[in-house]
Structure 1
Amino acid sequence: MSPSEFIDAAEKFLSAEFGEAGRRSAVSRAYYGAFHGCSRCLPVDLLPAREARYEAGSHKALVGSLEAWGNSTRDGRHSAQRAARKLARLRRARVDADYQLASRLTFDPSNCVRDAREVLSLVENARRLFDKAEDTV
């Protein structure tokens, strides 16, 4: 399954027929599409430690790894930095959508879907730049 399939599903949940549950599910699916895309594109040496990937802080660890790439001098850093900021916002939106059921959504689900697609594009671009630089070394 590809990360973009999560985002495609998120887009379908935006339909009025799914109501609020669909809107909340759209936020969650959009986030997970972006999350898995970032996981796939990170250079191996920047991935969170294997143990950290299965702990409660795994999502924060992934954002931290993207930020580390963004703060480095490695190629792709600018796109990685932007992806990290957007992924962190999507994570907050996902937590809000999944756990704050008594409150109205504070994030627009349509914007979350759009941002998730942008995160995928940014991180894929970052990886292309990184790989291109690695090929010339």
Structure 2
Amino acid sequence: MCLQEKMNTQLEFSCEELLATASNLSAAGTETTASPLRYGLLLLMKYPEILAKVHEEIDRVLGSSRRPSMQDRVKMPYVDAVVHEIQRYISLLPFSLPRLAPQDIHFRDYVIPKVRCIYFHYDFHKA
């Protein structure tokens, strides 16, 4: 327990909760960055012809002597399209945010009771 918690028992947010929240934010931020990079690299390995076009456009716009900037994005439409396609292709969050059924819902042979928590699954690969 933190020293501040011991001295103030009316705190609404404990040190343990703060650490858990910071950990969750860190993990979520890491995953949303690491997964597109990982899948993007795998997809580019699978499709070397796309990788070659991406590499050519980067070399043409940036050369080998400078780092990219946000202004370069409009000069590299192919790279921009590939990045967006990778983000569309991977299912980073395969489930939506939870929803509550406002009333009993009859769907095919199933009944979803009122106030039941529902998660919708997206399968972008079949869309």
Bucket of the pairwise TM-score, normalised by the shorter protein: under 0.3
When Rg is computed on C-alpha atoms for both structures, the one with the higher figure is 2
Instruction: Determine which structure has the larger helix proportion and give its number.
Output: 1
Higher relative contact order at CA 8 Å, sep ≥6: structure 1 or structure 2?
A: 1
The TM-score normalised by the length of structure 2 is: 0.27
Higher strand share: 2
Q: TM-score normalised to the size of structure 1?
A: 0.25
